[in-house]
Amino acid sequence: MHRFANPARFLRLAAAIQPWTAAATVLLIGAGLYFGLIASPADYQQGQTVRIMYVHVPSAWLGMACYSTMAIASAMALIWKHPLADLIGKSAAPIGAAFTFLCLVTGSLWGKPMWGTWWAWDARLTSMLILFFLYLGYMALANAFDDPTRGAKASAVLALAGFVNVPVIKFSVDWWNTLHQPASVTKIGMPSIDPSMLLPLLLMGVGFTTFFVTVLLVRVRSEIMASKIRAIRLMQIHSTPGAVASGEVVG
């Protein structure tokens, strides 16, 4: 783990991995969409609307997985002061917020024909909404300080405090008697979902994950670049005589 604390080494590794994850994303989501939209049967009860599941469920998984990534990265940043962990947490937050938002929107679109309502104050839906607000709070806090390192540390503490919500989301369908259906894929024993539907769902799930990894790598690389540019500009300012005195400070 500490091997990758060196940004140069991380950049080389990221540049090597990124084309592969990007290619895997295109293939997996492409195949998932083909099987999900064309080659899989419509549900005997839900009809064609069941196809919303192939976007809704993976984005819910990723919404929680991003938060877990953020929480683990935050713990690493706080405990070992790992320089890249801060960047990973900061970069994962907008992606996770987008997945959570996508999950809420597709869930709402799915809920209207199935439950007859866009929104229900059900435990699973409410806890997912809270997750979305936690992402917003995290991003707001990370950008609220003049000193970016202080923002990174404060938001890391918040990410860990908010992590209590993730198991609540996961088990909300088991703890409360909810409108939202209980887990059907991660059941002990056989999943209660037909293989013809499980295949596109899993393809999309893995595809969304590789998409997350790709975007995360892009964002972390650009964060490293941005801090390099900042350092170069500062060096230029200090090497140009009189630049500081004349107030030509470039942020």
Q: Is 137 one of the binding residues for another protein (CB under 8 A)?
A: yes
User: Which residues have a Cβ under 8 Å from the Cβ of 83 and sit 6 or more positions away?
Assistant: 5, 7
Q: Which of residues 22-81 bind another protein (CB under 8 A)?
A: 78
Min dist CB 193 to another protein, Å, is 30
Residue among 20 and 80 whose Cβ is closer to another protein = 80
Question: Which residue's CB is nearer to another protein, number 174 or number 194?
Answer: 174
> How many Cα atoms within 13 Å fall on the side-chain side of residue 134?
27
Is the four-CA dihedral 155, 158, 164, 165 of positive or negative sign?
negative
Q: Dump the DSSP string for 177-212.
A: --SSPPPSSS-SSS-SS-HHHHHHHHHHHHHHHHHH
Beta carbon nearer to another protein, 141 or 193: 141
Segment near another protein (CB under 8 A); pick from 37-45, 101-109, 150-158, 203-211: 150-158
Sole binder of another protein in the list 22, 24, 26, 160 (CB under 8 A): 160
Residue 104: how many CB atoms within 10 A of its CB?
A: 20
Looking at 18, 68, 126, 227, which residue binds another protein (CB under 8 A)?
Answer: 126
83 contributes a contact to another protein by CB under 8 A: no
Which phi-psi region, left, alpha or beta, contains residue 189 (left: φ > 0; alpha: ψ -120 to 50)? left
CB of 160 to another protein, least distance (A): 7
Task: Candidates 36-44, 58-66, 109-117, 149-157: pick the segment binding another protein (CB under 8 A).
Answer: 149-157
List, in order, residues 6 or more apart from 231 with CB less than 8 Å away.
none
Rounded alpha-carbon distances, angstroms, from residue 157 to 72, 142, 189? 11, 11, 37
Residue 134 in the binding site for another protein (CB under 8 A): yes
Our finding on whether 82 is near another protein (CB under 8 A) is: no
Of 168 and 206, the one with the shorter C-beta distance to another protein is 168
At its nearest, how many Å lie between another protein and the CB of residue 113?
28
Cβ-based nearer residue to another protein, 160 or 206:
160
In the three-class reduction of DSSP (H, G, I as helix; E, B as strand; rest coil), residue 242 is classed as coil
- Is residue 218 a contact point for another protein (CB under 8 A)? no
Cα 18 from Cα 25, distance rounded (Å): 10
The letter for the amino acid at 19 is P
Please report, as ranges, the residues that interact with another protein according to CB under 8 A.
78, 126, 130, 133-134, 136-137, 140-141, 144-146, 150-151, 153-154, 157-158, 160-162, 165, 168
